Chain A
Amino acid sequence: MSKRIDVNDLNIFYGKFHAVQNVSMTIEPKSVTAFIGPSGCGKSTFLRTLNRMHEVIPGGRVEGEVLMDGRDLYSKEVDPVDVRREVGMVFQRPNPFPTMSIKENVLAGVRLNSRRMSHSAADELAERALRDANLWNEVKDRLDKPGSGLSGGQQQRLCIARAIAVQPEVILMDEPCSALDPISTLAIEDLIEQLKEDYTVVIVTHNMQQAARVSDRTGFFNLEATGRPGRLVEMDDTQKIFNNPAQQSTEDYISGRFG
Chain B
Amino acid sequence: MSTTPPSARTPAAVPAPAPDRSPRRGQVRRPGDLVFSGASLASGLLIMAILAGVATFLLVQSLPVLTADPGEVTGEAGFAAYVLPLIVGTVLASVLAMAMATPVAVGIALFVSHYAPRRLGASIGFVIDLLAAVPSVVFGMWGWQVLAPRLVPAFAWLEANLGWVPLFAEGSNTGRTIATASLVLAVMILPIITAVSREVFLQTPRLHEEAALALGATKWEMIRTAVLPFGKPGVIGGTMLGLGRALGETMAVAIILSTGGFTWNIIGPGNSTIPAEIALNFPEAAGLRLSELIAAGLVLFVITLVVNLVARYIVEKRSEFSGAN
A interface residues (Cβ-Cβ under 8 A, vs B): 38-39, 51, 53, 56, 81-82, 84-85, 88-89, 91-100, 108-109, 112-113, 146, 148, 159, 162-163, 166, 175, 178-179, 206-209, 212, 242, 253-256, 258
Smallest Cβ distance from B179 to chain A, in angstroms?
A: 35
Q: Are B12 and A108 in contact (CB under 8 A)?
A: no
| A91 and B211 form a contact (CB under 8 A) | yes
Q: Which of A91, A99, A178, A253 contacts B13 (CB 8 A)?
A: A178
In the bound complex, do residue B1 and residue A97 qualify as a contact, i.e. CB atoms below 8 Å apart?
no
Instruction: Looking at the assembled complex, report how far the CB atom of B231 sits from the nearest CB atom of chain A, in whole angstroms.
Output: 10
Task: Please determine whether B221 and A258 come into contact, CB atoms closer than 8 angstroms.
Answer: no
Contact B215 A212 (CB under 8 A): no
B230 contacts A53, C-beta separation under 8 Å: no
Partner of A91, one of B2, B9, B210: B210
Give 3 nearest A-B pairs by CB, closest first: A85-B216, A98-B324, A109-B215
**Given A92-B12, A98-B208, A108-B225: 7 more A-B contacts, CB < 8 Å:** A91-B207, A95-B211, A99-B321, A148-B325, A166-B215, A256-B2, A258-B7
**Which residue of the partner chain, among A93, A99, A162, contacts B207 with CB atoms under 8 Å?**
A93
**Chain B positions within 8 Å of A100 at CB level:** 229
Q: How far does the Cβ of A40 sit from chain B's closest Cβ, in whole Å?
A: 9
Minimum C-beta distance from B241 to chain A (A): 22
B217: nearest chain-A partner, CB-CB:
A112
- Distance from A233 Cβ to chain B, minimum over Cβ atoms (Å): 15
Q: How far is the CB of A172 from chain B (nearest CB, A)?
A: 8
Q: How many angstroms between the C-alpha atoms of A173 and B225 in the bound complex?
A: 21
Are A93 and B214 in contact (CB-based, < 8 A)? Answer: no
What's the interface size class on B, roughly? 20 to 34
Q: Given A81-B218, A98-B325, A109-B215, are A256 and B5 also a contact pair (CB < 8 Å)?
A: yes
B192 to chain A, nearest CB (A): 24
Contact B325 A109 (CB under 8 A): no
Q: Which of A51, A113, A208 lies at the interface centre, i.e. has the most chain B CB atoms within 10 A of its CB?
A: A208
Given contacts A98-B325, A208-B8, contact A89 B218 (CB under 8 A): no
Residue of B10, B215, B218 touching A163 (CB-CB under 8 A): B215
The docked-state distance in angstroms from the alpha carbon of A75 to that of B121 is 31
The reply to whether B2 and A159 form a contact with Cβ atoms under 8 Å apart is no
Q: Say how far A165's CB is from chain B's closest CB, in angstroms.
A: 9
A181: nearest chain-B partner, CB-CB: B13
Docked complex Cα distance between A85 and B210 (Å): 13
Instruction: Judge whether B188 is part of the interface by a CB distance below 8 angstroms.
Output: no
Q: How far is the CB of B110 from chain A (nearest CB, A)?
A: 17
Judge whether B190 is part of the interface by a CB distance below 8 angstroms: no
Q: Which residues of B contact A89 (CB under 8 A)?
A: 214
Closest to A82 in B: B216
Is residue B195 contacting chain A, with contact meaning CB distance below 8 A? no
Chain A residues closer than 8 Å to B211, beta-carbon distance: 91, 95-97, 159, 162
Chain B min CB distance to A119 (Å): 20
Report the minimal beta-carbon distance from B8 to chain A, rounded to whole angstroms. 4
CA A92 – CA B214 in complex, angstroms?
A: 13
Q: List 8 A-B contacts (CB under 8 A).
A: A84-B217, A85-B216, A95-B208, A95-B325, A98-B325, A163-B214, A208-B8, A258-B7
Nearest chain A CB to B263 CB, angstrom units: 42
Task: Return the chain B residue nearest A94 by Cβ.
Answer: B325
Contacts from B to A (Cβ < 8 Å): 1-5, 7-10, 12-13, 205, 207-208, 210-218, 221, 225-226, 229-230, 232, 321-322, 324-325
Would A53 and B214 count as touching, CB distance under 8 A?
yes
In the assembled complex, the CB of A205 is this many whole angstroms from the nearest CB of chain B, namely 9
Alpha-carbon distance between A85 and B215 when the two chains are bound, in angstroms = 6
Contact A56 B216, CB 8 Å, known A206-B10, A209-B4: no
Decide yes or no: A258 and B5 within 8 Å by CB, A95-B325, A179-B12, A206-B10 being known contacts: yes
A39-B7, A91-B211, A93-B207 given; A112·B216 CB < 8 A: yes
- Could you tell me if A209 and B214 are in contact, using CB atoms closer than 8 angstroms? no
The residues of A that contact B229 with a CB separation of less than 8 Å are 97, 99-100
- CB B113 to nearest CB in A, in angstroms, measures 14
> Do the beta carbons of A99 and B230 come within 8 Å of each other?
yes
The listed residue with most A CB atoms (<10 A of its CB), out of B8, B207, B232, is B8
Specify which chain A residues have a CB less than 8 angstroms from the CB of B4 in the assembled complex. 206-209, 256
The smallest beta-carbon distance between B320 and chain A, in angstroms, is: 10
Distance A165 CA – B4 CA, assembled complex (angstroms): 34
**Nearest CB of chain A from residue B121's CB, rounded to whole Å:** 12
Q: Which residues of B contact A56 (CB under 8 A)?
A: 210, 213
Contact of B7 among A38, A94, A242 (CB under 8 A): A38
* Residue in chain A with minimal CB distance to B207: A95
Partner of A212 from B1, B7, B13, B212 at Cβ < 8 Å: B1
For A180, give the chain B residue with the smallest CB separation: B13
Chain A contacts for B208, CB-based, 8 A: 95, 97-98
B162 to chain A, nearest CB (A): 32
Q: Does A208 contact B210, Cβ atoms closer than 8 Å?
A: no
Minimum CB distance partner of B226 in chain A? A97
Chain A residues contacting B10 (CB-CB under 8 Å) are 39, 92, 175, 178-179, 206
Q: Which residue on A lies nearest to B320, using beta carbons?
A: A98
B1 touches A254 (CB 8 A): yes
* B234 CB, nearest partner CB in chain A, Å: 12
Which A residues are CB-close (under 8 A) to B205? 95
A179 and B13 in contact (CB under 8 A), knowing A100-B229, A208-B1, A208-B4? yes
